[in-house]
A and B are shown apart, each in its own frame.
Chain A
Amino acid sequence: MKKTSFHFLRVGLAITFLWIGVLIFKNPEAWGGYLQPWAVGLLPITLTQAMIGTAFLDIAIGAFLLFDFLPWLAAFVGAIHILIVLTVSGITDITVRDIGLLVAAIALMIDSLPQGVSKWFVKKQNPETNHAK
């Protein structure tokens, strides 16, 4: 990915995560309404507490991305977070846009992976090549 496009995507995704976090803080109960009943039943804490935790996580991911601090880790956690959101809320007319956010987060993560992590991943993919060396 070109450097400029990477930063556009990073800042755009950061604003999305930050703003969602703020909106959840404003009305955690309403956002909790998106959860499927089976998912609510699995929660060990109240729905409001879980949603406030989600708001903190969203804001942390957004802040990391905005400050360009460990963007690969923020994007990785963000992608897992969106996957969980899709699982527990189901894909509806509203949440379908999360698929776009998920892919954007994965793209950011792949593009900003530190060299050490990338090399480890390549080694895992091609073990024969490494043995030949």
Chain B
Amino acid sequence: MTSYALLFTLSAIGISETVYLIRKRLASEKPVCPIGGGCALVLTSKYNKLFVIPNDILGLLFYIMAAFVSAFLVIDVPPIAFWSLIIKLSITFGALLSLFFIYLQWRVIKAWCFWCLMSAFTIFLMGIIIVVSGFI
């Protein structure tokens, strides 16, 4: 259950990050950018959407789904095998997408966004937890 508790906590942190970014975007305000200084540049670039949906909304939906699924796994909501597969697949997909976004910031936009890196780090950490919990 420890791994699901950690996944749930990281999902909640991800939700708070993405809600902050969505609020700032809706209010047309620049987010606080403690490290890197390129947040506004990255967040307003042409890569800020995927299939017409803003990345912050996709991130929020991903984290809400991850929080629900990890809660289902803790409460033992059937079918457990299905939820377990869903969380593994979605975190793998999220981690790959985060790698792509890091590449875009590094090579294409040539600016670093603190919040995007935080979100990527959160998803990588979720992936590490899934991998490590498989061995323990």
Among listed A17-25, A74-82, A97-105, interface-contacting one: A17-25
Contact with B12, one of A18, A25, A26 (Cβ below 8 angstroms):
A18
The distance from the CB of A66 to the nearest CB of chain B, in whole angstroms, is 6
Judge if B8 is at the interface, Cβ distance under 8 Å. Answer: yes
Contact with A67, one of B19, B71, B76 (Cβ below 8 angstroms):
B19
Among listed A7-15, A39-47, A88-96, A122-130, interface-contacting one: A7-15
A68: chain B residues within 8 A (beta carbon): 16, 19-20, 23
CA distance A82 to B13 in the complex (A): 23
CA distance A67 to B9 in the complex (A): 14
Interface secondary structure of B, over-half rule: helix
The distance from the CB of B67 to the nearest CB of chain A, in whole angstroms, is 8
CA distance A18 to B8 in the complex (A): 9
B16: chain A residues within 8 A (beta carbon): 7, 10-11, 14, 66, 68
Instruction: Name which residue of chain B comes closest to A59, CB basis.
Output: B71
Q: What are 30 A-B contacts with C-beta separation under 8 Å? A: A7-B16, A7-B20, A10-B16, A11-B13, A11-B16, A14-B12, A14-B16, A15-B8, A15-B12, A15-B13, A18-B8, A18-B12, A18-B67, A19-B5, A19-B8, A22-B8, A23-B74, A25-B71, A25-B75, A26-B74, A26-B75, A66-B12, A66-B15, A66-B16, A66-B19, A67-B15, A67-B19, A68-B16, A68-B19, A68-B23
